[in-house]
Amino acid sequence: MTQANDLKPMFRDELGFLSNFDETPFEMPLLAGGGTVASGEHAFNALKTIDPVERARVLGEATPGGAKREGRRVSLRPEWNTGGRVRAMQQVLVAKFALPDLAARLEATGDLELVKTNRWHDQFWDSCCCPAHVGTPGRNMLGELLMAIRDRRR
């Protein structure tokens, strides 16, 4: 198992397309109208709520960071903390990697272990590599979902 202090920051540079902050627009059929979303971060935060006004505010943000900030203000759908957030992320990633170019790039990562690292203590989606988490790898759910999609595409 990879230790937190062994991890290098991932989802930047040539792997930046894996990040939800990547600004490649894609179709998100599960959102009202099934329109195009500006990023995975927009789609994920819009799926947090069932309120159409709150969703529209998230989707209307100019940047992924803005969508994330607005997503912190929405009323969470009832099942969000009991599996809903993982299902939402999976739906976002399936839609995003339906784009042929992104799918090919994901497949080109081969057997690389995709570990999303951070220094802000997210141990669920990522694996924090700050000194406080040395030796305690995170769940890396985002990386796990990406590797599962990659494996299914093979």
Residue scoring higher pLDDT (86 or 12): 86
Characterize 49-73 residue by residue with b for buried, 16 or more Cβ atoms within 10 angstroms of its Cβ, and e for exposed: beeeebbebbbebeebebbbebbee
Residues 88 and 127 in one domain: no
pLDDT value, residue 32: 62
pLDDT value, residue 123: 72
Domain span at residue 79 reads 25-98
| Number of separate domains in the chain | 2
Residues 34 and 15 in one domain: no
Q: What is the mean pLDDT of residues 69-81?
A: 97
pLDDT value, residue 11: 82
Residues 71 and 29 in one domain: yes
Convert 48-66 into a string of H (helix), E (strand) and C (coil): CCCCHHHHHHHHCCCCHHH
Q: What is the mean pLDDT of residues 97-113?
A: 96
Query: Does residue 1 carry a pLDDT above 60?
Result: no
Q: What is the mean pLDDT of residues 32-53?
A: 92
Residue scoring higher pLDDT (53 or 154): 53
DSSP 80: I
